[in-house]
Amino acid sequence: MQNHQGSDGAVLRAGGSWLPATMETFDRTLGMEAEVVNTREVTQHADENPSSAGGRREFAPNRRAFAGGLLAAIVVAGTVGGAAGSVATASVFNRGAPGSTVSAAPPIAARNPLIADKSLTQIYKQVSPSVVSIQTAASVASARQSGPPTPRVPGFSIPEVPEIMPRGEGSGFIVDGEGHILTNYHVVDGADRLAVVLADGTRISARVVGTAPASDLALLKAEIPAGKAGLATLGDSDEVEPGDLAVAIGNPFGFDHTITAGIISAVGRDFGSAAGRPMRGLLQTDAAINPGNSGGPVLNAAGEVVGIATAIESPVRANVGVGFAVPINTAKRLLSQLKAGQTVQPAWLGIAGIALTPDIRGELGLPESVGQGVAIAEVTPESPAARAGLRGGARDEGNGSAAPRGGDVIVAVDGRPVKSVPDVSGYLDGKAPGDTITVAIWRDGRRQDVQVTLGSWPAALRG
């Protein structure tokens, strides 16, 4: 599959793109799709030269290009949804000196003619007071550390520059009376200063409380004056079905408190990566999501938050009706840890595997009783799986066989039957480093139980 890099920093997939989060030069791209290599799932990194990427695309003038690429694939671990590996849809604006107040723009609605205007109006009035614009800035020192030194030319002086430079903008929403605000991690990643702008234009300093990079989530806190904002109601993303109403409120291209509407197009989607790990279980919507919507709420017909806008798929560098959101239940599950100031690390098992098919079952000589499961192709050295004694197999490259011979076959985890790799990784979503799970395997002609204590996703794999 051919991937391209745009000069604005967007990662252009075959027919799609991640939108830029900031205006600075990055050392790597963080949002590439998962690829199955040789029918098993492994992790691979590949740098590529943007100048030879087969075409350049821009969302705004004078954007700097990404300097490298990250090709993310899957090593089984706890995946928590997440986004674009910290690169998705936050908009890029250089809007004057920090401290300037964003002027309110009239709400823009892209309405579905099948949806009654009154219902959308009610949702907007109910939720928009809880939605904020998030402005980020980076110190000049930080920017200089990531870029080349400024050349000195005899006879010319270097103009004075502000100590803090505007960096980017995204969205968020207030979740409680203490001033906690949920947003995407990629919106605030690398920022030295943060401010939130309320619906009435009030601008307030904010700080990061906790983060979950692998889920593309961050929790901020701001001292919000009483009566100045509303609170968002968190719904249940497990109840969302394709065809349900989907409403997004955010700040696309700096147009604050914009409402767009559509439907939930699909659930359980896999798209991109965050912190070097694939993102799974995302909500897909055709409600317009554009740069600046990142971190904003995706709502159901009751006005409850069911997702957090994070990424789009687009061949034309703008919304084409394929957007993605982190399920709100992911955020709800992690909220107490985020409020406690933690950097949430996902659980890690440390294997690569392949789902059983009739052909693979036959090649491995498995009995009819083992009709489904995941054959372990590789166990990462010194991983939790390795310490527990799980065994990986080896493929016969000579005859092109996909079956990893001689390894364990996972048939259940904590008593839950396993049919595919996502069954394992999806179950680990709800686990934390240090938790112990029971992995039922088929080995040497019989079923055995192995206790595995999960670890933290290694820094070397976070991208």
Q: Is 4 an annotated catalytic residue?
A: no
Contact at 8 Å (CB) between 10 and 88?
no
Question: Can you read off the two tokens belonging to residue 102?
Answer: 């964003």
Which residue from 430, 340, 448, 458 is spatially nearest to 75, judged by alpha carbons? 458
**Of 294, 314, 383, 425, catalytic:** 294
Q: Is 257 an annotated catalytic residue?
A: no
Q: How far apart are CA 24 and CA 189, in angstroms?
A: 12
**Of 8, 171, 180, 186, catalytic:** 186
* Cα separation values, 42 from 24, 37, 77, 398, Å: 30, 7, 12, 20
Phi, psi values for residue 68, rounded to 5° = -155, 180
Phi, psi values for residue 448, rounded to 5° = -135, 155
**Of 8, 86, 189, 216, catalytic:** 216
Beta strands, E only, 241-329: 245-250, 258-269, 273-274, 277-278, 282-285, 297-299, 305-312, 323-327
Question: Can you read off the two tokens belonging to residue 411?
Answer: 């048939």
Question: Can you read off the two tokens belonging to residue 361?
Answer: 């079952």
Q: Is 45 an annotated catalytic residue?
A: no
Which residue from 254, 337, 322 is spatially nearest to 288, judged by alpha carbons? 322
HSE (side-chain half, CA atoms, 13 Å) at 232: 30
Q: How far apart are CA 183 and CA 454, in angstroms?
A: 28
Active-site annotation, residues: 186, 216, 294
